[in-house]
Amino acid sequence: MANLRNKARRFGTAPVFFTSIATILGAILFLRFGFATGTLGFWGVILVILVSHAVTIPAALAISEIATNQRVEGGGVYYIISRSFGLNIGATIGITLYLAQAISVAFYVIAFTEAFEPFFNLVRSAFNLELPRQAISVPVMLLISVVILKRGANLGVKALYVVVAILFLTLLLFFMGEPEYSGTGRAMNFTFRNREDFFLVLAIIFPAFTGITVGVGLSGDLRNPGKSIPLGTIAATIAGMIVYLLVTWKLASSASTMELVDDQLIMSSIAVLGPLVIPLGLAASTMSSALGSVLVAPRTLQALAADRSFPAKWLNYIMSRGRSDTNEPYNATLVTCIIALVFVIVGSLDMVAQIITMFFLVTYSSLCLISFLNHFGSDPAYRPLFKSRWYLSLAGFLTSIWLMLMINFAAAIVAIIIIILLYTSISSLHKDRKGLEVIFQGAFFQLARSIQIYLQKSEKKKQTSWRPAVVCISQHTFDRPKPFGLITWISHRYGFATYIHLIEGYVSKATYRQSDEELKKLIELSELEESNVYVDTLISPSYTSAIAQVMQLPGISGMENNLTLFEYEKENIKELCQIIDNYALVRAGSFDICIYATSSRAINFKQGIHVWIKPTDSENANLMILISYIILGHPDWKKGYIKIFSLCREDEKKQTWDQITRLIHEGRLPISDRNIEIISLKENINPKTIINEKSVNAGLTLVGFREEMVKQHGEKIFGGYDNIGDIVFVNANKFKEII
Quick: pLDDT tens for 201-212. 888 888 888 777
**Separation of alpha carbons 581 and 15, rounded Å:** 76
The three-state secondary structure class of 344 is: helix
Q: Residue 504: name the closest of 495, 494, 514, 496 by CA.
A: 514
- Give the pLDDT score at 701: 96
- Give the pLDDT score at 141: 86
Domain check: are 359 and 499 in the same one? no
Is 455 within the bounds of a domain?
no
Check: CB of residue 100 under 8 Å from CB of residue 250. no
pLDDT in tens, 441-473: 667 777 776 766 666 666 555 556 788 989 999
Domain check: are 517 and 430 in the same one? no
Q: Does residue 310 have a pLDDT over 90?
A: no
Q: Which residue has the higher pLDDT, 303 or 568?
A: 568
Check: CB of residue 605 under 8 Å from CB of residue 637. yes
Which helix (H) or strand (E) element contains residue 23?
helix 13-24
Q: Does residue 85 have a pLDDT over 80?
A: no
Under 8 Å CB-to-CB from 188, ≥6 apart: which residues? 41, 256, 257
Domain check: are 322 and 278 in the same one? yes
Q: Which residue has the higher pLDDT, 276 or 77?
A: 276
Residues linked to residue 505 through DSSP beta bridges, in sequence order: none
Domain check: are 353 and 478 in the same one? no
Q: Does residue 179 have a pLDDT over 80?
A: no
Q: Does residue 425 have a pLDDT over 70?
A: yes
First to last CA, the chain: 76
Q: Does residue 56 have a pLDDT over 70?
A: yes
Is 582 within the bounds of a domain?
no
Domain stops at, among 387, 422, 437: 437
DSSP state string for 473-538 = EES-TTT--HHHHHHHHHHTTT-EEEEEEEEES---HHHHHHHHHHHHHHHHHHHHTT---EEEEE
Which band of pLDDT confidence, cut at 50, 70 and 90, is reported for residue 183?
Answer: very low
Number of compact structural domains in the chain: 3
Q: What is the mean pLDDT of residues 332-348?
A: 85
- Give the pLDDT score at 103: 85
Which band of pLDDT confidence, cut at 50, 70 and 90, is reported for residue 7?
Answer: very low
- Give the pLDDT score at 381: 64
Domain check: are 308 and 427 in the same one? yes
Is 714 within the bounds of a domain?
yes
Domain check: are 524 and 622 in the same one? no
DSSP 629: H
Domain stops at, among 564, 586, 618: 564
Under 8 Å CB-to-CB from 12, ≥6 apart: which residues? 222, 223, 224, 228
Q: For position 63, which CATH number holds?
A: 1.20.1740.10
- Give the pLDDT score at 3: 41
Is 506 within the bounds of a domain?
yes
Q: Does residue 260 have a pLDDT over 90?
A: no
**Separation of alpha carbons 586 and 582, rounded Å:** 7
Q: What is the mean pLDDT of residues 114-123?
A: 78
Is 457 within the bounds of a domain?
no
**Separation of alpha carbons 730 and 650, rounded Å:** 25
Q: Say which range, 333-337, 429-433, 582-586, 588-592, has the weakest mean pLDDT.
A: 429-433
Q: Does residue 354 have a pLDDT over 90?
A: no
Domain check: are 431 and 543 in the same one? no
Domain check: are 284 and 361 in the same one? yes
Phi, psi of 210 (to 5 degrees): -95, 10
The domain containing residue 626 runs over which residues? 599-739
Q: Does residue 83 have a pLDDT over 50?
A: yes
Q: Does residue 612 have a pLDDT over 80?
A: yes
- Give the pLDDT score at 580: 92
Q: Does residue 275 have a pLDDT over 90?
A: no
Domain check: are 198 and 323 in the same one? yes
Mean pLDDT computed over every residue of the chain: 83
Domain check: are 209 and 293 in the same one? yes
Which band of pLDDT confidence, cut at 50, 70 and 90, is reported for residue 643?
Answer: very high
pTM: 0.66
Q: What is the mean pLDDT of residues 522-532?
A: 86
Domain check: are 433 and 487 in the same one? no
> Within the chain, what is the greatest distance between any pair of CA atoms?
120
Q: Does residue 704 have a pLDDT over 50?
A: yes
DSSP state string for 152-206 = HHHHHHHHHHHHHHHHHHHHHHHHH---SS--TTHHHHSS---GGGHHHHHHHHG
**Separation of alpha carbons 87 and 703, rounded Å:** 53
Q: Residue 294: name the closest of 354, 207, 217 by CA.
A: 217
Is 447 within the bounds of a domain?
no
- Give the pLDDT score at 439: 63
Most confident of 260-269, 304-313, 541-550, 694-703: 694-703
Check: CB of residue 372 under 8 Å from CB of residue 447. no
Q: What is the mean pLDDT of residues 643-658?
A: 92
Q: Does residue 188 have a pLDDT over 80?
A: no
pLDDT in tens, 293-307: 787 788 888 888 888
Q: Does residue 4 have a pLDDT over 60?
A: no
Provide the percentage of residues in the chain whose pLDDT is more than 70: 88
Going 90 to 92 to 97 to 98, the CA torsion angle's sign is positive
Is 344 within the bounds of a domain?
yes
Which helix (H) or strand (E) element contains residue 337?
helix 330-346
Domain check: are 396 and 476 in the same one? no
Is 593 within the bounds of a domain?
no
**Separation of alpha carbons 206 and 364, rounded Å:** 12
Provide the percentage of residues in the chain whose pLDDT is more than 90: 26
- Which amino acid, one-letter code, is at 683? E
Instruction: Give Cα separations from 316 to 187, 461, 573 (angstroms).
Output: 58, 54, 62
Strand order in 592-598's β-sheet?
534-540, 496-504, 469-474, 563-569, 592-598, 727-731, 700-704, 609-613, 642-648, 676-680
- Give the pLDDT score at 86: 76
- Give the pLDDT score at 220: 62
Domain stops at, among 541, 564, 587: 564
